[in-house]
Amino acid sequence: MHISRRVFLGASAAGAALIVAGCQTQSPDLNAILDQAATDFLRESPEYATMLAVSEEQAGGPYLSRVSDVSRAGLARTREVGQRTLEALERVDRASLSAQDQVSLDVVTTSLRNSAASAAFPTGGGANSPYTVSQLSGAYLEYPDFLASRHPVTDRAGAEAYVERLAGFARILDQETTRIAEDEADGVIQPDFTIDGAVRQLRLAAGVAPAQNTMLLALQGKLGALADVPETDRTALLTRAEAIIANEINPALTRQADALTALRPRSVHDAGIWRLPRGEEMYAAGLRDWTTSDYNPQQIHDMGVELVTQFRSEMEAIFNANGMTRGTLNERVRALSSRPDQIWPSTEAGRTALLASLNQQMAAITARMPELCNRLTSAPLEIRRVPVEIEAGSPGGYYQPPALDGSRPGAYYINLRDPAKEWPKFSLPTLTYHEGTPGHHWQIALQQEAGDMPFYRRALMFFSGFMEGWGLYAEQIADEIGMYQNDPWGRVGYLQSMIFRASRLVVDTGMHSLRWSREDAIRSMMDATGDAETTITTEIERYAVWPGQACAYMVGRQAINQMREGARATLQQNFDIRGFHDTLLANGAVPLNVAAQLVETWAAGVSGPA
């Protein structure tokens, strides 16, 4: 249910993409500054250059075999060039820019300032991801999937680079292990329950026989597609890769697990970052970075409480109208979840059927998109299962963008560890609209295809308040165009999703500001949503290590709805939903205040002079 950046800079999903690199130039030319900044960032993050499939020139040199430097020194180098970029942008004469370039200046400047505020806290990935390795973050989770699914092997050189990156993966793991100790010296130790989750997953990964490792099997499959590589060379490459996994990667995974195990006696069970040095400041910076809003924790908490009540009332009305009137609302949700007609079996056949159903839902709503937008995208989307080896600690679903050159489609990953318990059928359509179309895939594909937008913004700007807000708003517009017209239980799933995201506002602020325990947060969210404890526990533990991230969804949705109602009030009978959506999406991801200004300008232009 979030956008996965997986950039390997030791930061959170969005934070890593926002800690952008800078340039040496003193030029006041905005486009020159942004082009150089993009190159400098990609030079520091060769894996992200690979994911985007950019040219070597754009990435500042060859990158296919390189790995990021995730040591503190490496991260500091990235912050330093980011600061130089900000200084260069502050010398630009805004009044001399075109309207579009003014938007670019505002967007990038906001990004860099928020990132600098988050990065002022040196542990982990900054304020929005303060722990270097957790059950939800770290190279051990990110790198195997990166190599298996996104590192291209189209020739012998690509295969050699793959093997070199395997060795680089081991170095990254050890750099992170060093940072765990450095974080401890700064007084930052994660909760005991997230240490336990990370250690379990690290030891599981280290215990996989090298011959059965996902990275080796993926290389084997990639090599099998290369007709021009002799069999002896394929065998040699696979032998080298297996040796690296056995002698370098698995020992590095074990060292990392041992480091966290040794740290655990000094950890506590408190979930929130209020207990860390400058914890209140850290949470404020994280909230601002994730949401691009100025709401304080109490305002966000109160918003969540109010919305939970509203959505639960709507859900109650559906149950009553459809004859399910016995028991509390949560008891009725659980009764619906256990009905045979709502269960996908936790078998391979059940998982296959579930994925087929999601593809059908995606095709149906994609056909309706001309009703919602004038500007359309044809970028392909694949719906995939979260890799089995990382599903235990992964969220329910996430999205990964396509390559800029079209060589790799967008991917919506869904966690199928136990669909019979975690994914009743009525809950899935709204998730699919959020992650796919008209949600993340639609928005990000349009951003990447905006050829008149600077490359820096098309490829490197990821504002969670806007993007996750759009994803949640996308669930709403699916409801508004009648996707649940003959599916009341599907609409229950939609409302449950809304309650879930509203409850996030309550529990995230509860843990990190109001000093709730992990157990307090689990009980609150279970009471609000009626969801299974296993699902809720995974979510609460996610919020514990990504403070503020879970607030981006509903804060962003509410902001978009406020923009829409403001434009509707201005335009009245001239309001066009397609024009509103085009205005938001044509400019890509932007801070929420910039989005509001863009909508106001559009509405004023449509309405004309008074």
CA pseudo-torsion sign 449, 454, 460, 463: negative
d(CA 119, CA 130): 10
d(CA 468, CA 552): 6
**CA–CA–CA angle 264, 267, 273 (5° rounding):** 140
How do the domains of the chain map onto residue ranges? Answer: 132-187+192-267
DSSP sequence for 238-285: HHHHHHHIIIIIHHHHHHHHHHHHHHGGG--S--SGGGSTTHHHHHHH
What are the residues whose beta carbons fall under 8 Å from the beta carbon of 239, sequence distance 6 or more?
none
Burial of 605 (0-12, 13-18, 19+ CB in 10 A): exposed
Query: Long-range contacts: 321-324, Cβ < 8 Å, 24+?
Result: 321/488, 322/488, 322/489
Which DSSP helix (H) or strand (E) runs through 499?
A: helix 488-512
For residue 74, how far is the Cα from the chain centroid? 23
Token code pair at residue 420:
């019979």
pLDDT in tens, 455-485: 888 888 889 999 999 999 999 999 999 999 9
DSSP sequence for 373-395: -SS-----EEEEEPPGGGTTTS-
d(CA 149, CA 222): 10
pLDDT of residue 534: 85
- Cis upstream peptide for 438 (omega within 30°): yes
Q: Which residue has the tokens 């109490």?
A: 298
Q: How many residues does the chain have?
A: 610
SS3 (DSSP) at 229 = coil
Q: Can you give the three-state secondary structure of 312-350, one letter per residue?
A: HHHHHHHHHHCCCCCCCHHHHHHHHHCCHHHCCCCCHHH
Please check whether residue 269 is in contact with residue 518, taking contact to mean a CB–CB distance below 8 angstroms: yes
Q: Can you give the three-state secondary structure of 406-454, one letter per residue?
A: CCCCEEEEECCCCHHHHCCHHHHHHHHHHHCCCCHHHHHHHHHCCCCCC
Strands 410-414 and 397-400: antiparallel
Token code pair at residue 452:
């008149």
Query: What's the maximum distance between 2 C-alpha atoms anywhere in the chain?
Result: 77
What is the model's pTM?
0.88
Please check whether residue 459 is in contact with residue 390, taking contact to mean a CB–CB distance below 8 angstroms: no
DSSP-assigned letter for residue 290? H
Phi, psi of 385, rounded to the nearest 5 degrees: -80, 140
| Residues of the chain falling short of pLDDT 50 | 1, 3-27, 610
